[in-house]
Amino acid sequence: MANRLATKLGKQIARFRVQAEFTQEELAERAGVWPETISRLERGRGNPSLDLVARLSKALAVPLPRMLNFGPDLPSSNAAIEALVLELANRPVAQVRLVHGVAKAVLQFMEGGDRSTPG
Domains of the chain, start order:
2-67 (1.10.260.40), 76-110 (no CATH)
Report yes or no: 9 and 49 within 8 Å, Cβ to Cβ: no
- Residue 64 above 90 pLDDT? no
pLDDT, tens only, 30-39 = 999 999 999 9
Pick the closest to residue 64 from 86, 43, 42 (CA basis): 86
Tell me the backbone φ, ψ of residue 85, rounded to 5 degrees.
-60, -45
**Residue 68 three-state SS:** coil
Residue 55, SS3? helix
Q: Which residues contact 73 (CB under 8 A, 6 or more apart)?
A: 79
Q: Using pLDDT thresholds of 50, 70 and 90, give the confidence band for residue 23.
A: very high
Q: What is the mean pLDDT of the chain?
A: 86
| pLDDT computed for residue 29 by the predictor | 97
Element (H, E) at 116: none
| pLDDT for the residue 4 | 87
Q: Helices in 1-119 by DSSP H: which ranges?
A: 2-19, 24-31, 35-42, 50-60, 64-67, 76-88, 93-110
Looking at residue 88, its pLDDT comes to 78
b/e map 10-46, b = 16+ CB within 10 Å? bebbbebbeeeebebeebbebbebeeebbbbbbebee
Read off the pLDDT of residues 88-119 as tens digits, 9 standing for 90 and up. 777 899 999 999 999 899 989 998 865 555 54
Q: Does the pTM exceed 0.75?
A: no
